[in-house]
Structure 1
């Protein structure tokens, strides 16, 4: 499945797997019969995954990645504690260096993905822990528990020479780049539009800041990221739209002792507020 998605051709996928094209076709057909869904649309131009196929490919890539890490994790286990930790892309550049410093006697395997998928992997046991902001917006697996780590809120970053208005429509006529930690992006865009903005989405915090600088427009994003990325001549102020987040540590029960011991040290290192704080 993964090879077919990469190559878009049964022949090329078969060559990678060292099997013939008919054998690859038979394996795909057998898998489709077992699942009861068509996984790839096939014609003379190649093979393209259906929605069901894309979902299965994503799961296959995750399983393969976990298998490929087995040898590294086994070798690392012989040298000390090994922890597999996941977070979402915007936080990875700040969280993983902090964990590496706080957990110097452990080996931390780093995983990035959407928060809900990371929580699922904690529940199934393929991740030891996930740092996410969606734990209070979803049903946790029965085996998992969520510990509040820190809080954050939306902020407004303005590059030099960018001027924001006042009153009820401070963004009137302005493009505004927006990035949120959690799935509230659509609601954020609606709130910004009500203030006169033309919202522009950004996939990560760094992307949002770079877009704002290039386009010469304000950026709305979590305060911790704004402070981390702001240049000396850029201003960070409270955003004129509501938005608060809580960063959770999600683990299986009981919380690994090594991770429980570093939770208190992460808040300041990540530029965040104490969980539930208003400072």
Structure 2
């Protein structure tokens, strides 16, 4: 019987939200995780979780066990940190998720430098067109734009970033420059489908004024590099992150449109599960990223 180990197991299971997700992280089968949970419940003499095919739901006893147990784990870990002669050495597999464009341009080089500094860490970078669920996919760190909505994750801001509306000079010369967000309704707009929410809806603000415009265009994609190339080719107006278009604005290949209007912020964050059980590889990597990411 190891109460501390049981507490750690149950806390991780609740955090991952499913037997299969925890099993993937531990490198065991879901039945093995289920058996471990059953043994824990048998030892305590109560049911901690109600299991369905889709999700886990904590019982009242489970909520009490988690709330009190999490505090005990934090106290134990703090005690060990206090008496330890040195901090943990980063080691093991570090799994990182980022979007294609930013991942290729910034995260891949950062991981290369990090691996040279921490040779005992193996890295796995998965690039996707939209952020993945960290728990379900067993990732250690995810890179997100804008304030992450998941309160179960810790979010560390890596860099400030704005969204800018821009177009090629050739397009603006041919079709005119809109004077207000409403003027976008008559323009060709290039739409990036970044997530499962309704795309092609752009939000603008200027002081206390707010305007939402549903834009239309003949070209859309889930890949940011494709939409950027189309904008450079003069196909229409594009809404993109500053990190991606600033170079082209500086060179004159793109021009900002409606610069007096603000768009929703797109600050760049590293997100990871709550600090409980945070490994040295994650802690050191996020600290490294905060210094490594330098945007124009």
Question: Is residue 247 of structure 1 aligned with residue 268 of structure 2?
Answer: yes
Q: Give the CA deviation at 1:86.
A: 0.9
Picking from 220, 229, 232, the partner of 2:251 is 232
Hey, what does 2:230 align to over in structure 1? Answer: 211
* In 2, Cα distance between equivalents of 1:180 and 1:152: 19
TM-score (norm 2): 0.51
* In 2, Cα distance between equivalents of 1:150 and 1:225: 13
Q: Give the CA deviation at 1:209.
A: 0.9
Hey, what does 1:277 align to over in structure 2? Answer: none
Hey, what does 2:158 align to over in structure 1? Answer: 149
Hey, what does 1:176 align to over in structure 2? Answer: 189
Question: Is residue 201 of structure 1 aligned with residue 220 of structure 2?
Answer: yes
Hey, what does 1:34 align to over in structure 2? Answer: none
Picking from 56, 81, 97, the partner of 1:86 is 97
Q: Give the CA deviation at 1:195.
A: 5.9
Question: Is residue 133 of structure 1 aligned with residue 140 of structure 2?
Answer: no
1:174-221 CA deviation, whole Å, 9 max, x = no partner?
211133766665373476x96695345331220111222345322111
* In 2, Cα distance between equivalents of 1:107 and 1:214: 40
CA 1:224–1:130: 2 relative to 1, 3 Å:
same
Within 5 Å, give how 1:1-279 maps onto structure 2. 81-94=92-105, 95-104=107-116, 105=118, 106-113=121-128, 117-121=132-136, 126-133=138-145, 136-140=148-152, 144-163=153-172, 164-168=176-180, 169-171=182-184, 173-179=186-192, 186=199, 188-189=201-202, 197-199=215-217, 200-214=219-233, 216-227=235-246, 232-237=251-256, 238=259, 240=261, 242-252=263-273, 253=275, 254=278, 256-268=282-294, 271=295
* In 1, Cα distance between equivalents of 2:202 and 2:220: 8
Aligned 8 A contact 1:86 1:111 in 2: yes
* In 2, Cα distance between equivalents of 1:261 and 1:239: 35
Secondary structure at 1:264 match in 2: helix
Q: CA RMSD in A?
A: 3.7
* In 2, Cα distance between equivalents of 1:149 and 1:183: 24
Secondary structure at 1:85 match in 2: strand
The number of residue pairs the alignment matches comes to 189
TM-score (norm 1): 0.54
Does 1 or 2 have the higher relative contact order (CA < 8 Å, sep 6+)? 2
* In 2, Cα distance between equivalents of 1:130 and 1:195: 30
Q: Give the CA deviation at 1:110.
A: 0.8
Show structure 2 runs of 5+ residues with no match. 1-19, 29-90, 205-210
Q: Which moved more, 1:240-249 or 1:164-173?
A: 164-173
* In 1, Cα distance between equivalents of 2:246 and 2:235: 18
Bigger radius of gyration:
2
